[in-house]
Chain A
Amino acid sequence: MINISCLSKSFGRFKAVENLDINIQKGEIYGLIGPNGSGKTTTILVLLDILDPDPGAKITIDGNKIPERINEVYHKIGFMPQELSLYLDLTVEQNLKFFGNLYKIPKPIIYSRIQEVLELIDLTEYKKRLISKCSGGMQRRCSLAVALLHNPEILILDEPTVGVDPELRIEFWNYFKEISKEKGVTILITTHYLAESINCDQIGLMNKKILISGTPLELMENVRRLKNLERLPDMEEVFIHYTHQEKMERELGGSGK
Chain B
Amino acid sequence: MSISLRRIIAITRKNLQALSHDKRTVGLLIIMPILMMVLFGYAFGQSVRHVPIKIANFDEGGEGIPYMGINDTKFSEIFIKYLEEDDRVDVKLLNLNIFNLSDEISQVYGGNDYYALIVIPINFTEDMLNFSNHIQISTYIDGSDPQTISSVIGAISEAIGTVINEISGEESHLELNLVYIAGDPNLRPIDSLGPGILSFALLLFMILTVTGGFTKERLTGTLYRVKVTSTSKSEMMIGYLLGNSLIALVQSALLLAISVLFFQINIVGNILLLFFILFIYAMSCVGLGIFASTFAKNELQAFQFIPLLLLPSMFFSGFLFPINSFPIIFQYVSYFIPMTYSIRISRAIMINGFGLDMFFMDFLIMNLLTLAFLVLAVAVFKMKK
Contact A102 B7 (CB under 8 A): yes
Q: Which residues of A contact B226 (CB under 8 A)?
A: 102
Query: If A50-B384, A51-B384, A101-B10 touch, does A146 touch B22 (CB 8 Å cutoff)?
Result: no
Residues on B lying within 8 angstroms of A by beta carbon are 4, 6-7, 9-11, 13-14, 17-19, 21-22, 220-222, 224-231, 383-385
Q: List residues of chain A with CB under 8 Å of any chain B CB.
A: 45, 48-52, 71, 74-75, 77, 79, 81, 83-91, 94, 97-99, 101-104, 130, 146
- Name the distance in Å between A160's Cβ and chain B's nearest Cβ: 14
Are A102 and B231 neighbours in the complex by a CB distance under 8 Å?
Answer: yes
B6 touching A51, Cβ below 8 Å: no
Least distance between B230 CB and chain A CB atoms (Å)? 4
Cβ A77 vs Cβ B18 within 8 A? no
Beyond the given pairs A50-B228, A90-B17, A98-B11, 10 more chain A to chain B contacts, judged by CB atoms under 8 angstroms and listed by A's residue number, are A50-B224, A50-B227, A50-B385, A84-B220, A85-B221, A89-B21, A91-B21, A102-B10, A130-B21, A146-B225
| Nearest residue, chain B, Cβ from A80 | B225
User: 4 closest Cβ contacts across the A-B interface?
Assistant: A83-B221, A101-B10, A74-B230, A89-B18
- Give the residue among A79, A83, A101, A102 with the most B Cβ atoms within 10 A: A102
Let me know if A90 and B221 touch, CB within 8 A: no
Q: Is the CB of A87 within 8 A of B7?
A: no
B18–A87 CB distance below 8 A: yes
Contact residues in A for B221 (Cβ distance below 8 Å): 81, 83-85
Smallest CB separation, B232 vs chain A (Å): 8
Out of B10, B13, B230, B384, name the residue touching A71 (CB < 8 Å).
B230
Q: B6 to chain A: which residues have CB within 8 Å? A: 101, 104
Residues of B within 8 A of A74 (CB): 228-230
Asked whether, in the complex, the Cβ of A79 is within 8 Å of the Cβ of B14, the reply is no
7 A-B pairs within 8 Å (CB atoms) are namely A74-B229, A83-B221, A85-B221, A85-B222, A87-B222, A98-B13, A103-B229
For A102, the closest partner residue in chain B by CB is B229
Q: Is the CB of B385 within 8 A of A101?
A: no
| B-side contacts of A87, CB under 8 Å | 14, 18, 220, 222
Shortest Cβ distance from A67 into B: residue: B384
CB-nearest residue of chain A to B226: A102
Chain A residue at minimal CB-CB distance from B216 = A88
Q: A50-B384, A84-B220 are in contact. Are A89 and B227 (CB under 8 A)?
A: no
Q: In the docked arrangement, what's the CA distance between A52 and B382, Å?
A: 12
Contact B7 A104 (CB under 8 A): yes
Tell me the complex Cα distance, A74–B227, Å: 9
